[in-house]
Copies of this chain bind each other. A is one copy, B any other.
Amino acid sequence: MSVTAAQGFTAAGVAAGIKASGRKDLALVRNLGPRFDAAGVFTSNRICAAPVTWSRQAIADGRIDAVVLNSGGANACTGVEGFADTHHTAEKVGEELGIAAGDVVVCSTGLIGARLPMDALLTGITTAAADLSADGGLAAAEAIMTTDTRPKEAVRTVDGWTVGGMAKGAGMLAPGLATMLVVITTDAVVPAEDLQSALGAATRVTFDRLDSDGCMSTNDTVVALASGASGITPEATAFLAALTEVCHDLGQQLIGDAEGASHDIAVRVVNAASEDDAVQVARSITGSNLFKCAIFGNDPNWGRVLSALGTTAAAYEPDGVDVSFNGVMVCRGGAIGEPRELVDLHPRAVDVLVDLHAGDAQATVWTNDLTYDYVKENAEYSS
């Protein structure tokens, strides 16, 4: 159900002919109100795609009526022509739905540095507009897939109101969001300003803590739409909790379907002097190709964890660090701990715990292993 689980939303996903494969490649999500509050979080990459530039402006006034998303092309690094393409896309959606182009968020994903096939895309918008329905959530989630092997959806219902969402993304997943497009809808009454602060808080500890491959996208967009159709105004903490759960659920689905991965790895850093320290240390480990190759080889190579830790400015004493793989403390006090033979890394889920013994802050960053199939997907196909 995803984006159509909450009341007041319709969606559609169609095959517009943008992808050579003929698969679904265009999604449309519409908010029918009565409210049109919206919030967005975008890539921090300074080289950002035309649709990101457009959508940042569109969402600035806190109102969005519809989101159009295409796979099959990122429309990034396409110059003024690319920006005009995004503008035309929004105008076409406006025409079809009888709304202002300036209230349309546009998202694109696919190869950087190529123009979109605009004839196919514009025709697809007409088809999608005619196809909008309260059952369209799954089709929309399918239409935004690129190298994803399955659609990602999540829903939480609490006391009469609902938060639902869809996501795509399987590579170029890194700090400052991941390569992903995410649309979240809710029928709760949440003014745009509150929605923006809740979305920022939720993404900070979910999508922003994914690092599949260290590469930051030009197109990352997370947009949240609130229709108010339930008539219920939730407590801020309850809403944030539900929104964070949906973001976490979608984020875990992204990591679980990352390109070529055979392990999903949670790097938990505990007893850090600050949350920033914990995040910095976790990111240094999730960014290490050697660490990620070791996990692929089912090798609890804690030396590679410590060599990554050593590159950070975090507070710790080198002889005061413990590292555990799946509960076995293979490194104690910065030196040799339990035998590495005790660790079983065959399950897909891997838990790496780093205890800095330097304070009481903590953070988790999620990543994947580095595999033959990751190299294959990213060497043999342009994306």
Q: Residues on A close to B: CB < 8 A?
A: 44-48, 74, 76-79, 81-82, 111-115, 171-172, 176, 213-218, 287-290, 293-294, 296-297, 299, 301-304, 306-312, 318-319, 330-331, 333-336, 370-372, 374-376, 378-382
Contact = CB atoms under 8 A, between A and B. Distances in A.
A336 B289 contact: no
Given A113-B302, A318-B47, A378-B294, A335 B77 contact: yes
A42 to B, nearest CB: 12
A194 B29 CA distance: 68
B306 A378 contact: no
B215 A290 contact: yes
A142 B293 CA distance: 27
A307 B376 contact: no
Given A47-B318, A375-B375, A335 B303 contact: no
Contact of A290 (B302, B371, B378): B378
The winner among A46, A213, A214, A382 for most chain B CB atoms within 10 A is: A46
A375 B48 CA distance: 31
B112 A318 contact: no
Given A216-B310, A289-B370, 13 more contacts: A47-B310, A48-B318, A77-B303, A77-B331, A79-B336, A213-B290, A216-B311, A218-B303, A297-B380, A299-B382, A301-B382, A370-B375, A371-B379
Contact of A112 (B214, B303, B374, B375): B303
B215 A309 contact: no
B289 A214 contact: yes
B214 A336 contact: no
Contacts of A214: 214, 287-289
A336 to B, nearest CB: 6
A218 B301 CA distance: 14
A172 B290 contact: yes
Contact of A171 (B215, B218, B290): B290
Q: Main SS of the interface on chain A? A: loop
A90 to B, nearest CB: 20
A310 B319 CA distance: 37
A319 B83 CA distance: 12
Contacts of A331: 77, 113
Nearest to A43: B310
Given A289-B289, A319-B79, A372-B376, A111 B303 contact: yes
A171 B288 CA distance: 12
A381 B111 CA distance: 35
Contacts of A44: 311
B46 A310 contact: yes
Nearest to A317: B46
Contacts of A287: 214
A213 B303 contact: no
A334 B77 contact: yes
Contact of A335 (B79, B176, B334): B79
16 contacts: A44-B311, A45-B310, A45-B311, A48-B310, A74-B303, A79-B333, A79-B335, A79-B336, A172-B290, A176-B311, A213-B289, A214-B287, A215-B308, A218-B310, A299-B379, A371-B379
A336 B297 contact: no
A269 to B, nearest CB: 15
A361 to B, nearest CB: 19
Interface centre among A76, A114, A289 (most CB of B within 10 A): A289
Contact of A113 (B76, B289, B336): B336
